[in-house]
């Protein structure tokens, strides 16, 4: 299993961004693990992002195919509503799944997020598609009014909730909490991962997102003083800053130096918070 989750970023004008993040560990029976498995996907040309947890073989194939169809303009029309998009994704998944030997299908969950329109007319949407032995099911989420979790899946969800409550607080106990920011949500996830409380979650964080304008973003992540993209360590390169980089505290960073960018807002750890990295 894994830790897979999605959240929104909110500003004074409402939803300003939406993200999906995951760990990088793929596990087999016993203690066999691989910490550089890709679990999230983003369109290069459109505001569409995906992530998966559960059985690996099917979703890692179909999501790569889906993003290629989207990028080549072969799946969605500009006039598609969120419900039409979800149905097209489900239909594509079903057609592919039915061609796979039933003994190899397994069960998995796919998180999907998108943006309709752009700039101040934009609206963000998210859904989960559950692939079960008895069928394929989908559920569209109601997005929170403040920055916060939309959904989490996988074996690491319990650990994530614990660290999320530490960083953000428990809204059921205090509905006026001020710590519900993208920075706190992502920091909680990184702390959960570093704590190793879920043995099936590991490797580096992976992160994709959508802003109010433009195509989806595939973020590089600086984690334990190393650079990662989609779970794979990135070597030094003159083109490192061709993508956007974030560290464990969600600070914008320079890909070359790995330092926080000069004008980026610094985000210190919360005072008195347990440090899972120590």
Q: Are 180 and 147 in contact (CB under 8 A)?
A: yes
Decide if pLDDT at 278 tops 70: no
The CA distances from residue 167 to 11, 22, 202, in Å, are 19, 18, 20
Q: What is the mean pLDDT of residues 211-217?
A: 96
Distance CA(96)–CA(65), nearest Å, equals 10
148: tokens are 């916060």
Q: How confident is the model at residue 1 (pLDDT cuts 50, 70, 90)?
A: very low
125-177: per-residue pLDDT in tens?
999 999 998 899 999 998 877 777 888 888 888 899 888 888 887 554 444 44
pLDDT at 269: 62
Mean pLDDT computed over 164-192: 72
Answer for the pair 51, 66: CB distance below 8 angstroms, yes or no: no
Write down the pLDDT at residue 170: 54
Model confidence at 75, in pLDDT bands (50, 70, 90)?
A: very high
pLDDT bin (cut points 50, 70, 90) of residue 179 is: low
Q: How far apart are CA 165 and CA 160, in angstroms?
A: 8
Tell me what the mean pLDDT of segment 75-86 comes to: 97
Q: What is the pLDDT of residue 29?
A: 73
> pTM for this structure?
0.90
Residue 28 in this model has a pLDDT that exceeds 50: yes
Residues 191-219 have a mean pLDDT of 94
The 8-class DSSP code of residue 235 comes to: P
Residue among 104, 151, 125 nearest 48 (CA): 125
């Amino acid at each position: 299993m894994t830790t897979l989750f999605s959240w929104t970023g909110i500003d004074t004008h409402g939803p300003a961004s939406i993200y999906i993040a995951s760990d990088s560990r793929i596990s087999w029976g016993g203690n066999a693990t691989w910490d550089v498995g890709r679990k999230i996907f983003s369109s290069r040309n459109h505001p569409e992002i995906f992530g998966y947890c559960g059985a690996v073989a099917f979703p890692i194939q179909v999501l790569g195919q889906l993003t290629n169809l989207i990028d080549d303009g072969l799946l969605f029309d500009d006039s598609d509503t969120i419900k039409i998009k979800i149905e097209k994704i489900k239909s594509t998944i079903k057609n592919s799944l039915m061609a796979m030997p039933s003994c190899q299908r397994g069960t998995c969950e796919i998180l999907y997020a998108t943006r309709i329109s752009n700039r101040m007319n934009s609206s963000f949407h998210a859904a989960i598609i559950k692939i079960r032995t008895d069928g394929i099911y989908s559920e569209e989420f109601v997005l929170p009014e403040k920055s916060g979790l939309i959904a989490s899946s996988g074996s690491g969800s319990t650990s994530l909730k614990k660290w999320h409550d530490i960083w953000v607080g428990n809204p059921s106990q205090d509905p006026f909490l001020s710590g519900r920011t993208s920075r706190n949500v992502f920091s909680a996830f990184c702390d959960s991962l570093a704590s190793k409380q879920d043995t099936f979650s590991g490797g580096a964080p992976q992160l994709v997102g959508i802003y109010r304008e433009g195509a989806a973003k595939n973020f590089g992540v600086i984690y334990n003083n190393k650079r990662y993209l989609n779970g794979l360590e990135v070597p030094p390169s003159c083109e490192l800053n061709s993508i956007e980089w974030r560290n464990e505290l969600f600070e914008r960073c320079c890909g070359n130096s790995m330092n926080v960018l000069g004008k980026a807002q610094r985000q210190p750890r919360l005072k008195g918070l347990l440090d899972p990295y120590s």
